[in-house]
Amino acid sequence: MRVALFTTCLAEALAPRSLQATVLVLEHFGVTPEVPAEQTCCGQPLLSNGLPEEAATLARRMCVIFRAFDAVVTPSGSCCAIVRERFADLFVHGSDDHRDALALAARTFELVEFLETQLRVAVPTTSAPSPECDPSMTCHDACHLRGIHRHGCTAPFLTAFGCRDVRPLPDMAQCCGFGGMFSTQFPEVSSALGQEKLAHVATTGASTLVVSDTGCGAHLAGLAHRQRADNNSAAAFRIISPAEALAHRLGLLAMESIA
């Protein structure tokens, strides 16, 4: 099986560790991912901001770049959902492009989904290399995972995967307020939602927040950083991707301390 890593532009720019973790976890389970060099951006910013034709040119590139692969895996929930849910509608129904987009959608998976539904990986038999590698966690899933019926699946998977202390996040269903360009167009609304999310995370007392989308993670991390700059006593926790949580648990990647 040839598997490609769909890196996403945002993760390349902001979350290189999450991509490293994805590679390491896949390799751990016997999959050797390739990274097609020409991939750039899937077009989500264009699609979400009223430029569907421009988005279609990038979607077409994606179809070509990933054509030779049996599966396309990404740690970013939102970009995965865009490929799955919205790509096909960018093209005339019945056209070759439309068919290619549907085919790509059928082969594209978010990492946790890929491990759970495609590889059906087994729970690791060894315990975590050290207690720090299996911290208290709580999960916020990217809203776009709703569209591919994977919203709320990360926490149960981590628990089933042998993560010892995964705590329920109150009101997980509510958006964290990121929303791509929405975060800069309506910063007050976006931040108010993010602050509410952070407050819920703080009530869990978990040391680690697992967020299944790079953008949402960067938004929450940025808010938390500002909060602590303004108020030293604000709760501190690390924000990582599910890929990192898994890589830590398996001892493939060293856990970073809380800033």
Q: Which of residues 29-68 bind other proteins (CB under 8 A)?
A: 32, 35, 37-41, 43, 45-52, 54, 57-58, 61
**Residue 185 binding other proteins, by CB under 8 A:** yes
> Among residues 15 and 163, whose Cβ is nearest to other proteins?
15
Q: Is the dihedral of CA 47, 153, 21, 138 positive or negative?
A: positive
Distances (CA, A) of 145 to 77, 133, 184, 191: 6, 26, 22, 21
* Contact between residue 44 and residue 81 where contact means Cβ atoms under 8 Å apart: no
Of residues 152-171, which lie at the interface with other proteins (CB under 8 A)?
171
CB of 103 to other proteins, least distance (A): 21
User: Looking at 97-105, 120-128, 144-152, 153-161, which segment touches other proteins (CB under 8 A)?
Assistant: 144-152
Binder to other proteins among 71, 128, 206, 221 (CB under 8 A)? Answer: 221
* Contact between residue 244 and residue 253 where contact means Cβ atoms under 8 Å apart: yes
CB of 86 to other proteins, least distance (A): 8
User: Looking at 15-23, 110-118, 160-168, 199-207, which segment touches other proteins (CB under 8 A)?
Assistant: 15-23
**Residue 101 binding other proteins, by CB under 8 A:** no
**Residue 190 binding other proteins, by CB under 8 A:** yes
